């Protein structure tokens, strides 16, 4: 039954200009993907393509299958039908940091890299997330935000072409979360991986992503291109319009949404 | 007319009582056992406790000194410790290897776990006659009994430790590209370390107990021999001293494991063995 072919696309080195980006092969291509749990198809003939270097947010109510999709793309779920091709170099940051508690921070960062554990590589990656001074700490001594940043550093040190983020800031307090969002954008600009960012926070999706996908009934129900220049402001009227549309799609009635007009394609 | 009375403010916590400087905690803790010893000594001196029932602490301290002086206690401890060490090494290695086989592979689990779960229900103390038939009355049955008693607690805890390794961490490691050997080395074995040490602690406890049982059987040396011999000549004091030595050896083993835990598990957030 598990006919999922998880082939690896070979992706070109990080492109810089928009022209080069469109020329590069996609970071992920999914066609007719089906994932059943018993009778229920949580993912039902889903199609998805992530362009090279593109930042895509995946929105959806809890239980809609967005985390399942991310697990498929991460290569953690072979029980699928259909086609899912993903960049060979990919990395994941989960909602929980999932650091090995018995390894010091820097060793966690370089775990799984080929060759001997290289302290200098770890230090550079930690410096990027502002944690150069915590390299020798145990994971238990980190705050929630710090641990999540280590998890990001661990993902980025692999120089991924595809970065999968599964509600990475879901457990953080509002203030820490805001800082983490800025950090993610900075790191994305620096490394230019394609990003699939799973979240249920519409504002977060619109602040970060080039494209926001709405997942419902096992497929992509709606797609919004966020053309706003970064850094974005929630007070921007266009932001508000997109927000109402996505919230509507998530089944949340927004007061004054009628004024925003019908969803534009 | 509603009259709102102004709130009355009080200190949030009752002020700590000024106390006479208390004696240090260790002193208070030590005073219980010391008091017990004093009562015991008094009862012996008053003739309430006959020396052949229970000699006075003072008399036993003397016996202890004599046993050390003539070298018999040292000799006995060496043979007993040797038995425990050998039994622990054999049984420990066996338990550990079987646990690794069962924990790390499905085939190993199917082959090893069921027989181990069956064998562990055998009461090891009841195995003595069988071991005597198999191994005679020399050192072998004693070491075998210790090994048998050690293997199971270690097996069970290491196996459970491996199987209870956090699956979210295993998953994370897979996304980091860890292959099978690296996964075992960096994730599974460290994850099972806590369980292994718990197993070691149980194993050491069983080892001492098995030693006591084994040394009751025709021992020509060791602490058990000291006890058997003393019983024959009605030397209650030697029996009690030997029992106390057993107790302290067991305690020493426990301290050793705790020391191991402190060094090996310093990464644990829940670690409280300070």
Each residue's pLDDT tens digit, B98-141: 999 999 999 999 999 999 999 999 988 888 889 989 998 889 99
Q: What is the pLDDT of residue A234?
A: 87
CB count within 10 Å of CB A254 equals: 15
The verdict on A140 touching B (C-beta cutoff 8 Å) is yes
CB atoms within 10 A of CB B25: 8
Distance from CA of B178 to the nearest CA of A (A): 5
Helices (H) and strands (E) in chain B, counts: 12, 0
Which residues of chain B carry a pLDDT beneath 70? 1-3, 16-19, 270-274
Quickly list DSSP for A35-68.
Answer: EEETTEEEEEEEEEEE-TT-EEEEE--TTSSHHH
CB contact under 8 A, A111 and B266: no
Cβ distance B157 to B151 under 8 Å?
no
Smallest CA-to-CA distance from B235 within B76, B59, B70 is with B59
Chain B residues touching A95 at Cβ < 8 A: none
CA atoms within 13 A on the CB side of B202: 18
Touching B: A residues 90-109, CB under 8 Å: 90-92, 94, 96, 98, 100-103
* Integer Cα distance of B150 and B200 in angstroms: 8
**Percentage of the residues of chain A whose pLDDT score is greater than 90:** 68
Residues A166, A198: contact at Cβ < 8 Å? yes
pLDDT per residue as tens digits for the range A81-140: 999 999 999 999 999 999 999 999 999 999 999 989 999 999 999 999 999 999 999 999
* Partners of residue B180 in chain A, C-beta under 8 Å: none
Backbone dihedral angles phi then psi of residue A243, each to the nearest 5 degrees: -60, -45
Which residue in A has a C-alpha nearest to residue B168's C-alpha? A98
Residues A20-51: pLDDT tens digits?
A: 445 688 999 999 999 999 989 999 999 999 99
Backbone angles phi, psi at B270, to 5 degrees: -85, 5
Residues of B in contact with A158 (CB under 8 A): 176-177
Surface-to-core class of residue B111, CB atoms within 10 Å of its CB (0-12 exposed, 13-18 middle, 19+ buried): middle
Q: How far apart are CA B217 and CA A219, in angstroms?
A: 74
How far is it, in rounded angstroms, from Cα A16 to Cα B122? 70
B190·A102 Cβ contact <8 A: yes
Q: What is the pTM of this model?
A: 0.79
Phi-psi region of A34 (alpha: psi -120 to 50; beta: other; left: phi over 0): beta
Model ipTM value: 0.83
Instruction: Give the C-alpha separation, A158 to B214, whole Å.
Output: 58
Task: Report CB contact under 8 Å: A74, B175.
Answer: yes
Contact residues on chain B for A94, CB-CB shorter than 8 A: 168, 172
For A98, which of B168, B177, B191 is closest by C-beta distance?
B168
- Report residue B35 as tokens: 């008091």
- Tokens encoding B101: 């086989």
Instruction: Compute the distance between CA of residue A75 and CA of residue A117 in angstroms, rounded to an integer.
Output: 24
**What is the token pair recorded at B39?**
């009562």
Contacts of A128 (CB under 8 A, 6+ apart): A153, A156, A187, A190
Is A14 a residue whose pLDDT tops 70? no
Which pLDDT tens digit goes with each residue over A209-256? 999 999 988 999 999 999 888 888 889 999 999 999 999 988 887 665
Q: What is the pLDDT of residue A200?
A: 87
In the structure encoding, which two tokens stand for residue A32, read together? 């007719």
Instruction: Determine which helix (DSSP H) or strand (DSSP E) holds A28, and give its type and residue range.
Output: strand A28-37
Q: What percent of chain A has pLDDT over 70?
A: 87
Question: If DSSP states are collapsed to H, E and C, what string results for A77-92?
Answer: CCCCEEEEEEECCEEE
By three-state DSSP, how is residue A98 classified? coil
Helices B72-104, B57-69: axis angle to 10 degrees equals 90
Quick check: B171 and A76 CB within 8 A?
A: yes
Q: Are A92 and A74 in contact (CB under 8 A)?
A: yes
């Amino acid at each position: 039954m598990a006919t999922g072919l998880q082939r690896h696309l070979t992706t070109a080195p990080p492109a810089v200009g928009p022209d080069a980006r469109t020329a590069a092969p996609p970071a992920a291509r999914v066609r007719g993907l089906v994932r059943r749990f018993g009778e229920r198809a949580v993912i039902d003939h889903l199609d998805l393509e992530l362009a090279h270097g593109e930042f895509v947010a995946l929105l959806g109510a809890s239980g809609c299958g967005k985390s399942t999709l991310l697990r498929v793309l991460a290569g953690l779920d072979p029980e699928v039908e259909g086609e899912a091709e993903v960049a060979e170099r990919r990395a994941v940051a989960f909602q929980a940091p999932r650091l090995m508690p018995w390894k010091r921070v820097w060793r966690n960062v370089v775990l799984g890299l080929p060759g001997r554990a290289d302290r200098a590589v770890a230090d550079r990656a930690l410096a990027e997330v502002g944690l150069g001074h915590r390299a020798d700490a145990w994971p238990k001594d980190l705050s929630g935000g710090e641990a999540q940043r280590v998890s990001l550093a661990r993902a980025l040190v692999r120089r991924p072409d595809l970065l999968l983020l599964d509600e990475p800031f879901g457990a953080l307090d509002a203030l820490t979360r805001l800082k983490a969002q800025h950090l993610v954008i900075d790191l994305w600009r620096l490394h230019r991986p394609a990003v699939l960012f799973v979240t249920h926070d519409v504002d977060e999706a619109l602040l970060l992503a080039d494209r926001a996908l709405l997942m419902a009934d096992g497929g992509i129900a709606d797609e919004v291109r966020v053309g706003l220049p970064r850094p974005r402001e929630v007070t921007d009227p266009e932001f508000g319009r997109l927000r109402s549309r996505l919230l509507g799609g998530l089944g949340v009635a927004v007061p004054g949404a009628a004024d925003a007009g019908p969803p534009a394609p | 007319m509603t009259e709102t009375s102004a709130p009355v403010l009080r200190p949030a916590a009752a002020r700590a009582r000024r106390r006479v400087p208390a004696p240090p905690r260790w002193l208070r803790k030590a005073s219980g056992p010391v008091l017990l010893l004093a009562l015991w000594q008094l009862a012996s001196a008053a003739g309430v406790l006959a020396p052949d029932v229970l000699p006075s602490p003072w008399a036993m301290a003397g016996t202890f000194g004599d046993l050390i002086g003539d070298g018999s206690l040292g000799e006995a401890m060496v043979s007993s410790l040797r038995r425990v060490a050998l039994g622990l090494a054999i049984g420990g290695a066996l338990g550990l290897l079987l646990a690794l086989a069962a924990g790390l592979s499905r085939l190993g689990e199917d082959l090893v776990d069921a027989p181990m779960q069956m064998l562990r229900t055998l009461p090891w103390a009841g195995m003595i006659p069988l071991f005597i038939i198999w191994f005679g009355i020399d050192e072998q049955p004693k070491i075998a009994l210790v090994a048998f008693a050690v293997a199971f607690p270690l097996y069970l805890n290491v196996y459970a430790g491996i199987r209870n390794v956090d699956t979210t961490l295993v998953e994370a490691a897979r996304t980091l590209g860890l292959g099978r050997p690296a996964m075992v080395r960096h994730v599974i074995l460290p994850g099972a370390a806590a369980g292994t040490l718990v197993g070691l602690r149980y194993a050491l406890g069983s080892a001492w107990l098995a030693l006591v049982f084994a040394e009751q059987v025709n021992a020509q040396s060791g602490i058990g021999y000291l006890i058997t011999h003393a019983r024959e000549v009605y030397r209650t004091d030697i029996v009690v001293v030997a029992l106390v030595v057993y107790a302290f050896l067991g305690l020493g083993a426990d301290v050793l494991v705790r020391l191991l835990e402190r060094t090996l598990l310093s990464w644990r957030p829940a670690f409280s063995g300070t």
